[in-house]
Structures are given as C-alpha cells and as structure tokens.
Amino acid sequence: MTLRGLYAITDSQLLAGRFLSHVEAALEGGVCLLQYRDKSDDAARRLREGEALRKLCERYGTQLLINDDAELAARLGVGVHLGQTDGPLTPARALLGRQAIIGATCHASLALAQQAASEGASYVAFGRFFNSVTKPGAPAAGVDLLEQARAQVKLPIAVIGGITLDNAAPLVAHGADLLAVIHGLFGADSAQEVTRRARAFNALFAC
C-alpha cells in the first residue's frame, strides 16, 4: 500500500468523552494511518479501545498502528510505531511479521532514519516541526532535513509536531509523505469539523 496522506494520532485526554465518534469522523474524512496513542497503564482499556479502533479501521480501509506496544499490536494483528526509547525495531519486526507496518521516531536525525531503514522500518518520522503540545521539549526539525531525507532514505517520510492546516503545505512541498496530526485534527469542537479538517489535510497531497 502507498503510505501517503493524513496520519491521525489519538490523544486520550483530548478525546475524552468523544473518543470513537471523533476517530470515526476523521476516518470519514480519509486517513491513511491511524495511531492509537495511550500512555496509561490500563491494559484492559487499551485492549478494549484497540479492538474498537481495529474494527473501525477495517470498515474504512485504514491501517491501525499501536504506539510503543508491539505486544498489543501483535495481539490485535496490526502495526506499531516505536520511539527511540523503545529499543531496536528488529524484535518488533520478528514479532509482527514482514507485512506489518512499523514506524520509527527519528527526531531530527538522518542517522537515526538510516538506522531505522536498515532495521526494517516501513516509514520514518521526523519532528517536531512546530511548537507541539504533545512533545514540547522535542528537538526542532526543518524543511531542509526533509529534502536531505528524501535524497538519502528510500522510505515514506512522516512529519509530526504542531502541524495544522495553516502550516502543513510547505512540509508536503518539501517531501513529506505523511502528515502526523493530533491537536490540529482532533482539537475540533464537532465531529463534522474533524471530518472537514481530515479532508483538507488530504487535499494538500492532491496539489
């Protein structure tokens, strides 16, 4: 499959009380990848929400990834996104199989991206590009990094960090394949607005 378009990432606090309705609204607007990101220790809830998201994603033909938890991903039969503190990708690839989508956080480092590619990543993620509510202390990345990565890393490139409809277009123009968005998508007042934003993010790739 082609990894290109909107990459929606859930936030349990932001989506409290409207979790599935807003996720479905995003899927309605078109989402290439959906990442379930939940930093809590509530394993039963994580499994329950993961199963609900998997069913939704199947209905909309969207690939589901789990943040930082290869074992939950294996249990659900979906992909995983691993941060730099989650260890090498190789064990996750062995656990999830050749077909699974596995993403890697590379911050603002081409070397980390090349390492991830050699370990079998499906895509590499750079960021933050703008001030981010989720990761305020992350090192900043710029569009020049995207151009270098495009030339040197033969994998789809995801960008993350404070991305909104107002600032995303230059990232796509400089080589981003996936716009990873949390607040810029789900920080909307209504499900209809989530759907509108999802369509607008995807439209940036059609230009």
Does 55 carry a binding-site annotation? Answer: no
135 a known binding residue?
yes
- The residues, any chain, with a CB within 8 Å of residue 112's CB and separated by 6 or more, are 84, 104, 105, 106, 124
Q: Is 67 annotated as a binding residue?
A: yes
Check residue 84 and report its DSSP letter: G
- Is 134 assigned to a binding site? yes
105 marked ligand binding residue: yes
Q: Is 39 annotated as a binding residue?
A: yes
Residue 98 known to bind ligand: no
User: Cβ(3)–Cβ(156) under 8 Å?
Assistant: yes
Say what angle helices 19-29 and 191-203 make with each other, to 10 degrees: 30
Question: Is 109 labelled a binding residue?
Answer: no
| 162 is annotated as contributing to ligand binding | yes
| Torsion sign across C-alpha atoms 59, 63, 68, 70 | positive
Known binding residues: 35-39, 67-68, 86, 105, 132-135, 162
Known binding residues for Mg(2+): 68, 86
